[in-house]
Amino acid sequence: MPNRHRTSEELEFNKTVGTNIKFLRKKENLNQTKIASAIGTTYQQIQKYEHGTNGVSSIKLKKIAKKFNVSMDVLTDPMMIAKYEGFKEEHITDAYINEDIKLYTNEHNKN
């Protein structure tokens, strides 16, 4: 699903899913063609998923999760990479940092 007419929330979701797919693919030393073959699509489509250019349908998301032996929740979790990597700095994106700053600020402003 192309990103035309998507809300900012949908765009961010697509980016999160794509980043997580790419991370898991590289962790498993797989190329885009192997993932594409496993889920019945093209490597170009995997590339679009990974860049967040296109959204992943629910059935494709399920197939990708099965390929990596993870739940679909893992693929949609914005903190998946940070959790997996034990919060190694090089894997935490600006979006993760900004969210952590918001949580920290909100928590400390309550006191």
- In the prediction, which pLDDT does 92 show? 47
Q: What is the pTM of this model?
A: 0.72
pLDDT category at 82 given cuts 50, 70, 90 is confident
Are the C-beta atoms of residues 91 and 82 closer than 8 Å to each other? yes
Q: How many CA atoms lie within 13 A of 70 on its CB side?
A: 19
Helix (H) or strand (E) holding 23: helix 8-27
- Residue 104 CA to residue 40 CA, distance in Å, equals 42
